[in-house]
Each structure stands twice: as C-alpha cells, then as structure tokens.
Structure 1
Amino acid sequence: MASPALRALPLAALLLLAVPAAPVAAQTNDDAGTVTWSVRPADASGEDGRAWVEQELDPGATATEHMAVRNLSDTEVTFALSAADGFFQDNGRFSMLPSNEPSVDAGLWIDVQETVTVGPDETAVVPFTTTVPDNATPGDHAAGIAASVLSEQVGADGATVGVESRVGFRVMTRVTGDLAPAVSLEDVSSSYDLSWNPFAPGSAQVTFTVVNTGNARLLVTGALTAAGGEAGFPGPEEIDQELLPGDERTFSVTVDDVWPLVYIPAALEITPVVGVEGEGAAIDPVTADAGFWAVPWPQLIALAGIGLLIFSTFRGRARSRTRLETLLEAAREEGRREAEDEPAAT
C-alpha cells in the first residue's frame, strides 16, 4: 500500500523493477537527488543472508518474517512498502504485480506497515506477517514484498510524470496438505536448419511447452538428443527455469552438427524438480518423441552434379570415339576411291 503522499501524486506512468532472486540495490533520480536502496530478507536483528523467504504453513496459520530496507542515499527517505502476487516472467525471472493490478492470491495474505522512514546509510528492519486463509488450497503460492519510492519526471510534452521504482524479494508460501507435483509436455515441434554446404552439417531445433499441472513449484531441466548429439536446457549461461502451479512456458532447444539423413530420430526429456530453497525432490521425467525429416538436398544436388559430370565425360568420350571412327571410315573410303580411279600399269 502506498502512503497518502504517494497516492496524492498523479501517475502518468509506472516503472516496475523486477523482483530478483538475489535482491540488489535499486536507484532512482529526481529533483531531490539520487535515491539508492536495497531490500533483503532479515530476522529481527538484520539481514540473514537469505535470497528470499520460504515458509510452510497450515491453513489458518500465521507467521512473522522481516525485511531489511537499507537506504544507501545521502538523505533521509520515506519508502512505501507493499506486497502483491508474484509470478515468473517468460524469461524465468521473478516479478510481482504492479501497484495498479489487484492481487488475488498470496499477495493478499501479507500484512506490512504502509511506510518506513530510513536515515542516510541506515537500515530499518520491518516485520511483516503472512496469514493463510482457512480455505487456502494445498501447494505453493507466490508473492513479492517491496519498498518503493515515487519520483517526478517531466515528459517530452511538458507533462509531469510520476514514476514508481521498487525493489524487493519473493515470499514463497507452501500450504500444507496433499502435495501433487505434475507436469506435461505440449506442442512439441521440430525443425531442421539445413546447411547448403554439402560438407557441413546443419542444426536441429525443437520447440515445446512445459505445463505445471500440479500444485507445487517446479524447477525444469532437461535434454534433447538427436543423431547422437545432445543439448541440455537451461544452458550454462541461462537462469533457472521455475514454474508455479498453473504456469506454462515455451522453450526452444538446438542441437548442432546434425547431418541430414532423411529422417532423424530425436527424443526430448524433461526432469522436473519440486522447488524448495536449498533442496529439491525430483519427480518422474517426462519424455516426448521429437523426430523430424531432414532431406539432404545439398548432398543430393552435389551427387547429381557429380553424376552429371560423369555422364557428360562418358558421353563426350563416346562422341569423340564415334567421330574418330567416322573420320577413319571416310579416310578409308577416300583411299578406296582413289585406288579405283588410278589407271592400271602397262
């Protein structure tokens, strides 16, 4: 919830900073100067080293956690504190609903004071409580909690624009009960990127959608094998891919150095892991056939060219031999005529 002062400022635009897995400092600028701050999980005494909050609660239960709001600026700053439903973006990064979108799930379970004022280079530890409704469904529920500031900027048309900047961390609540992790693979499609160099292989790409059909948060990993090659996902430079219950996300995986052998058998396997910070339990892998056609057109064209060259060579030799025989026959015939026309000796 925003403070009365923040609500009074007309908002022409909102800027939402994604809530990262490992919270970092945020910075904004306005006429009052630069405001830089960070928000991290904490206990009553201060930051406790966690990246985010994981908690397991019964329906109807309440738990108290803390957030450390650190003001890295040179002046005192009043931050607005808020909670909202959390979600994973298409790129796998965690975020929370913007201020103008109402929460319908775990964002409503969190109660935190509206504002906190923090002096320059100081940290304020603020408690917040999570109260699970009596009728909450078992499984994982995601929310985010953040500290924000509102600044004014003047747009190109001269209008004053209010910009909300916020940073925070995720709050994952697992409601006790029957945990039923499940996942499905949908819309599996394969394609082949042909290399027109007949002496170079191409690459295979498989696109598919992973759907979390259970009630537990899942970390998704897997591999695609094709023609003896293999590619894992996520890649070494990519972030972990997590899916909340009901989430679906589309992935594309490429295997390089695949020769076109008319039909390429390929197999896709994903290995979901039930997500809990610091641990995880794997569930049965899910597999799908991803075979595809890969007609070796460059090689066929090259073979056709070689065949045409061989045919042309032999045909040229046959023509030369026929022409030579024709010339020899004409020479013999000319010799016979000359012999016949020559007068007999007396």
Structure 2
Amino acid sequence: MIVRGALAAILLFVLAPAPAQAALDKDGVRWSVQPSTAKGPDGRDYIVRRAAPGERLTDYVGITNLTAEPLTFNVYGTDAFTTEDGSFSLLAAAQKPTDVGSWIGLAAAKYTVPANTRLDVPFSVSVPANATPGDHAGGVVTSIAQETTGANGQKVLVDQRVAARVYLTVAGAAAPKLTIDNVRMEYSQSANPADGGSMTVRYLVRNAGNLRLSGTGSVKVTGPFGWKLAQTGAMDIPELLPGGSITITEKITGVQPTVRLAADVDVQPLYFAERLPAVARSTNVWAWPWALLAVLGAALLYLVFRFARGRRRRPTPLAKDVTS
C-alpha cells in the first residue's frame, strides 16, 4: 500500500484464462476482458501471435461491462514477468514497459463501455526491427480507479485491473534452455537410528533461453557406490518466461545416514508438449550415523567394562612349594 497524504492506493489485479473478470463488491462494478475479433470473441484463452522483426500486427480485446451503468476504463499494454513462486504477472501501473508492452498501441487511452455491452477494442503490436528472437509476453490491461472511504475514515484509491495475456513469438533462432542453479541440501538425523533422517533439497530453475518453458523436476538420493536410498516423484515446474526462475523445495524423510549422501537433481524441460534434453546437477553432504555410532560405542564400552571387571574378579593361583 502506498500512502500519499490522506490517500492510500490499493491495487486489485486479475489475470486468468478468458474471460477474466473482476468485481468491486461495494459498488457492484464488474467487467470481463477476453481475446476477440472485430465481430466478437473467437474462443481463444490468450492472444498468441507470431511476427517478424519490423512487422505490425492488429488484434482485439473484448471488454464487457457487466453492470447497469456505463463504465470508463484505462486501457494500455504492459510487460509480463515470472514471480518468485512461478506465477505469470504484469508490471505495476506505475512501471514503464520496455518489451512487448511498449510495442502495443491503442487509438485511445480511455474507453467508455455502455451498460451490459461488449466493446471490441483494436490494438496494434509494432515489432521493432531489432527485436530479439523468441517469446515475448505481456498483456492488454483494463483498469478502473475509484476513491472510497475505509472503515477508519481514510480515503482509499482502489485501482482494479483486469488483463488479457499477450504472447508474441518473434521469428529467428530458437534457443530453449533451462538451467539448475544453487542446489542446496540439508540433512537432519532422527534420534531413533531406525527412522533415518530427513533431507531438504532446494534448487533454482532458471529459463536462460528465449522461449517460454515448463517441465518437471525430480531428486534422487544416493549413498556410497551409487546406492539408491530415495527418489521423489516428478514435480511440475510452471511455465517460466525467458529470464524467469523459481526455487523448488523437496523434503525427503526416512533417509539413512551413510557417511556421504548425494542428491542428483534432474529437470526435464518442456516446450508445450515437446520434450527437450534433460539437465542435471548434483551436490552432496556428510551424514555420519551418529546415533548408530553412539549405540555401538556404548555397547563397546559396556563389553570392555564387563571384560575388565571379569579380569579383576578372577582368583590368583597359589604358588607351589617345591623342595628337593
């Protein structure tokens, strides 16, 4: 929340498959945004287009006013990014786009839509001649900012945004690439040697290429001589935009300490349904079986004690008197 004087700003943002809808409960303001044509929606979930550098495209978004009063919207293009948890999001309204969002042009900055009516708004995408090949992601945003009064009497500016995603692939050399960075492993032993211990493996998956990629990741735990101790199932990695990343955390229980443990991380990248070459990375950690060693040590000390005590109790043989 940003407070300027007595005015606070709140941002509500909806990004969803078509049609994306939003609502302000107090005032009953509701509308939807979806990919469209000059004649109406065409069933697309997202706006997905291909273009060559220097090419200009035209497309539409359908803005449907679902209330009984006319609504005026701010409409503009902006860039997308991957959040820390792997979600698709768009830049805040105050941030200036530098990628596909800056290539999007509209005839006006504001559009008024009559009550219970859909307006199909055209927009253009002018691809620069020096645009980099690969996938570029953004959105066409519709927003309404309204001033309301909070429970404490403070005036609050609520900026509600609904957007249609835009995916643009610029022609050129494709370079899909996922990397695994910062693999970290922690091991914690149980007090009961029979229970083994728990292992936590964290690794960062980064999209270092120029295509949006998803995939699956798994972790295999091995001991000395490649002895397999555990393996996780495939975990889905959400779609990562070029430059995006996500940290995956896997927790594995019941892992026996075998002095040296290794975690092998394997990631299978996917470009839509196409499988790409897998990437892997490993790390290891010392895991001394302290509990077992303590039990064995205690048992050894007990045996030594019993042996020493037995020797102390053994009677000394009497010397014989030998005379000639």
The answer to whether TM tops 0.5 is yes
CA distance in 1, matches of 2:191, 2:164: 49
CA shift, 1:233, in A, is: 5.2
CA shift, 1:315, in A, is: 6.0
CA shift, 1:176, in A, is: 0.3
The structure-2 alpha-carbon separation of the partners of 1:306 and 1:104, relative to structure 1 and needing over 3 Å to count, comes to same
CA distance in 1, matches of 2:191, 2:201: 20
Q: 1:15 aligns to what SS in structure 2?
A: strand
Structure 2 residue runs without a partner (length 5+):
1-5, 223-227, 319-324
Q: 2:210 aligns to what SS in structure 1?
A: coil
The structure-2 alpha-carbon separation of the partners of 1:48 and 1:259, relative to structure 1 and needing over 3 Å to count, comes to farther
Structure 1 residue runs without a partner (length 5+):
1-9, 330-346
Structure 1 match to 2:214: 219
Structure 1 match to 2:270: 273
CA distance in 2, matches of 1:217, 1:60: 22
Report if the CA contact (8 A) 1:262-1:296 is conserved.
yes
Matching residue within 88, 102, 115 for 2:82? 88
Q: Deviations over 1:111-159 (max 9, x none)?
A: 2342333344433322222111111111111111122111213357644
Q: Which amino acid aligns with 1:281?
A: E
CA shift, 1:175, in A, is: 0.5
Report if the CA contact (8 A) 1:11-1:163 is conserved.
no
Structure 1 match to 2:225: none
CA distance in 1, matches of 2:18, 2:234: 21
Whether 1:146 aligns to 2:137 is no
Q: Which amino acid aligns with 1:251?
A: I
CA distance in 2, matches of 1:233, 1:37: 39
Report if the CA contact (8 A) 1:20-1:95 is conserved.
no
Report if the CA contact (8 A) 1:233-1:253 is conserved.
no
Structure 2 match to 1:38: 32
CA shift, 1:311, in A, is: 5.0
Report how many aligned residue pairs link the two structures. 305
**Normalization by structure 2: what TM-score?**
0.83
Q: 1:260 aligns to what SS in structure 2?
A: coil
Structure 1 residues 198-277: aligned runs within 5 Å: 198-227=193-222, 228=228, 229-232=230-233, 234-235=235-236, 240-274=237-271
Structure 2 match to 1:292: 285
Higher strand share: 2
The structure-2 alpha-carbon separation of the partners of 1:315 and 1:36, relative to structure 1 and needing over 3 Å to count, comes to farther
Report if the CA contact (8 A) 1:212-1:248 is conserved.
yes
Report if the CA contact (8 A) 2:85-2:247 is conserved.
no
CA distance in 2, matches of 1:22, 1:208: 33
CA distance in 1, matches of 2:42, 2:251: 40
CA distance in 2, matches of 1:23, 1:314: 82
The structure-2 alpha-carbon separation of the partners of 1:37 and 1:234, relative to structure 1 and needing over 3 Å to count, comes to farther
Identity of aligned residues (%): 35
Moved more, 40-49 or 199-208: 40-49
**Normalization by structure 1: what TM-score?**
0.78
Structure 1 match to 2:47: 53
The structure-2 alpha-carbon separation of the partners of 1:20 and 1:312, relative to structure 1 and needing over 3 Å to count, comes to farther
Q: Deviations over 1:75-102 (max 9, x none)?
A: 3322221210111111111111111111
Higher helix share: 1
Q: 1:298 aligns to what SS in structure 2?
A: helix
The structure-2 alpha-carbon separation of the partners of 1:257 and 1:59, relative to structure 1 and needing over 3 Å to count, comes to same
CA distance in 1, matches of 2:95, 2:203: 30
The structure-2 alpha-carbon separation of the partners of 1:36 and 1:291, relative to structure 1 and needing over 3 Å to count, comes to same
CA distance in 2, matches of 1:166, 1:219: 27
Q: For the pair shown, which has the larger CA radius of gyration, 1 or 2?
A: 1
CA shift, 1:234, in A, is: 3.3
Moved more, 221-230 or 151-160: 151-160
Report if the CA contact (8 A) 1:95-1:144 is conserved.
no
